[in-house]
Amino acid sequence: MAIRKIVKYGTPSLREKSKEVHKISKKVQMLVEDLYDTLYELNGVGLAAPQIGENLRVFVIDVGTDPKTMNPITFINPKILKKEGAINSYEGCLSFPEAYTNVRRYKYVKVKALNIKGKPFILEAGEGSLLARAIQHEFDHLDGVLFIDHCRNRFEADRILAEKGLPPVDSNYLLDEKDLEEEIQNNPQSEEKPVD
């Protein structure tokens, strides 16, 4: 159990695709414990293994709002089975200290993963919930995708990144999400609690 250093935006490893976990070993279990220790220390919502320098397909999420309602969920080798709808999500990331911007997300996701005991589970999250958006955010980290790749306004994102002393959006990674953007504009959604 340890609080680990967060890999900051601009570090090349954040753009690497993570490797599957072949065995839930003691090392993997300790990695999960470190992810939770670090997540709680920094008061985040989710944290992926690449963010602490581990190139494995593992992330953790806890959308509980206080210690009495903590609900930690571990995802090992997750796969998104289904995604639908569109929503504006005002997001940040522990790898981007204090930088938040509007991004496009699916409103509903269905994900399959292994838990810490190696048992498979399926989880559905909808209605643009914090859980649905956090799953997408952390899943992206496993493929080297960052939340700013989904930004709705690149110039606003660049301004915010510059204010925080971070590199600008890399246009090579920007995602073409015209359908999502069109759906968001046709069905305006209220902004939700930021995802960290």
Residues of the chain with pLDDT under 70: 66-67, 188-196
At the top level of CATH, the class of 12-186 is alpha beta
SS (H, E, C) the chain: CCCCCCCCCCCHHHHCCCECCCCCCHHHHHHHHHHHHHHHHCCCCEEEHHHHCCCECEEEECCCCCHHHCCCEEEEEEEEEEEECCEEEEEEECCEEEEEEEEEECCEEEEEEECCCCCEEEEEECCCCHHHHHHHHHHHHHCCCCHHHHECCHHHHHHHHHHCCCCCCCCCCCCCCHHHHHHHHHCCCCCCCCEC
The residue extents of the domains of the chain are 12-186
* Catalytic residue list: 138
Write out pLDDT tens, residues 71-93. 899 999 999 999 999 999 999 99
Q: What pLDDT is attached to residue 70?
A: 76
Q: What pLDDT is attached to residue 191?
A: 47
